[in-house]
Amino acid sequence: MAFIVLNQKQYELKFTYKSLLSLEKYFKKPIADVFQSGLDLENLNAVLWACLQRESDFRGTTIVDIETLLDTELEATLDFDVLNAAITQALDESVILKKMKAQADRLQQQAELNQVAQ
């Protein structure tokens, strides 16, 4: 499990269906496309916001709220490498994302087999 400390409290970062849907709505593109460009600052901020929505302390927060929080935390105690590592770990451990990737791989393989068969 991936954890991060914000406001002196530990939170689990987890990609849920709701967080992935929030990212699709925010970026206005499929979730697979969101992660194609890597974790730039905008993606990092949006991903953190989406993952924290399941925590009661962050329900109803906006992207701007998370930007402000990160500004404060990164100036104080939060290390940027720790933040990036926690988000990367949450991505790597996401059951939903693994299932989506497996389905995409199966579809790709099927498409390749169909091309060979023609």
Tens-place pLDDT, residues 41-56: 888 899 999 999 999 9
Distance CA 50, CA 29 (A): 15
| The pLDDT value given to residue 101 | 82
- How many structural domains are present in the chain? 1
| The pLDDT value given to residue 116 | 77
pLDDT in tens, 103-116: 888 888 888 877 77
| The pLDDT value given to residue 32 | 80
| The pLDDT value given to residue 93 | 93
Domain extent for 66: 2-117
| Regions of the chain where pLDDT drops below 50 | none
